């Protein structure tokens, strides 16, 4: 279930041909980083089951199926890989809550502005950040995510990228996103014996400094933790002041 690509070991992750051949070789299903059971507290907290959800870069993960089993009613799944999308369409043709379309996350002009209440991304921005033209591709995809979100809607990014490498992309005045960060250990992580927890709970947001960094005294128990960035699209009536949420005094 867990694969770490924290050091980009290929620049192919943004390439449809790469993913098509990979999905042809690896039939079945695979969830990168985390399964829905671990993410459920965050998903249920920020995304009502009646939301119109966009799963960006769905691959062949079972996350969307698990969400429907948990009550979600409308999940549009897109992926650049036509192989993955064809497989998933066939697999889920009997589940009307799930829809699949082949699409590049950098150009989702098929959808009108403010089409979705929530956008979920598990490993797709990461893939673009491990491709040629990473910076441009990431900006294009995040611009599209921002355009597609309704005011008040949330972009939930599940990634291996820590704040030093993700906040600069997310904290753009043009997006006007209020960002909340959670850090969860990788599946199967066990705290070393005799080691007491230095942090309250994984369900508590982690404060960020005003510069968008982790507090200097923050100890990450699992060095291969995953980061969940909750980015809420603020409208003019919501006061953000372009500050990141939960600044350390």
> Under rule CB under 6 A, how many of the chain's residues touch ligand SAM?
22
The β-bridge partners of 187 are none
Stretch that binds ligand SAM, among 40-48, 57-65, 147-155, 206-214 (CB under 6 A): 57-65
Q: What is the DSSP string of 66-119?
A: HHHHTT--EEEEEES-HHHHHHHHHHTTT-TTEEEEE--TT--TTSPTT-EEEE
| Closer of 127 and 178 to ligand SAM (Cβ) | 127
Q: Does 124 sit near ligand SAM (CB under 6 A)?
A: yes
- Compute the least distance from the CB of residue 130 to ligand SAM, in Å: 9
Q: Does 127 sit near ligand SAM (CB under 6 A)?
A: yes
| Closer of 127 and 232 to ligand SAM (Cβ) | 127
Distance CA 32, CA 3 (A): 6
3-state secondary structure of 41: helix
Q: Does 14 sit near ligand SAM (CB under 6 A)?
A: yes
| Closer of 62 and 234 to ligand SAM (Cβ) | 62
Q: Does 84 sit near ligand SAM (CB under 6 A)?
A: yes
Q: Are strands 149-159 and 177-184 parallel, antiparallel or unpaired?
A: unpaired
Residue pair 11/132 in contact (Cβ under 8 Å)? The answer is yes
DSSP secondary-structure letter at 121? E
Q: Which residues form the interface with ligand SAM (CB under 6 A)?
A: 14, 19, 30-32, 57-59, 61, 63, 79-81, 84, 104-106, 122-124, 127-128
């Amino acid at each position: 279930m867990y694969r770490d690509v924290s050091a980009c070991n290929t620049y192919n992750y943004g390439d449809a041909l790469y993913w098509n051949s990979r999905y042809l070789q690896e039939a079945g299903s695979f969830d990168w980083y985390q399964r829905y059971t671990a993410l459920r507290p965050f998903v249920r907290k920020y995304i009502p089951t009646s939301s119109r959800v966009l799963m960006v870069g769905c691959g062949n993960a079972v996350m969307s199926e698990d969400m429907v089993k948990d009550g979600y009613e409308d999940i549009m799944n897109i992926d650049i890989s036509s192989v993955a999308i064809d497989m998933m369409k066939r697999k889920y043709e009997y589940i009307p809550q799930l829809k699949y379309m082949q699409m590049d996350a950098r150009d989702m002009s098929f959808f009108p502005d403010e089409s979705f209440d929530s956008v979920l991304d598990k490993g797709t921005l990461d893939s673009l950040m491990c491709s040629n033209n990473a910076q441009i591709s990431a900006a294009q995809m995040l611009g599209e995510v921002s355009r597609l979100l309704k005011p008040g809607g949330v972009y939930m990014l599940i990634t291996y990228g820590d704040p030093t490498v993700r906040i600069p992309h997310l904290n753009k005045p043009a997006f006007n996103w209020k960002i909340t960060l959670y850090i969860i250990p990788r599946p199967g992580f066990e705290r070393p014996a005799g080691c007491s927890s230095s942090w309250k709970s994984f369900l508590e947001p982690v404060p960020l400094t005003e510069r968008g960094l982790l507090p200097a005294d923050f100890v990450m128990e699992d060095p291969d933790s995953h980061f969940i960035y909750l980015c809420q699209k603020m409208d003019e009536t919501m006061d953000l002041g372009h500050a990141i949420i939960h600044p350390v005094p």
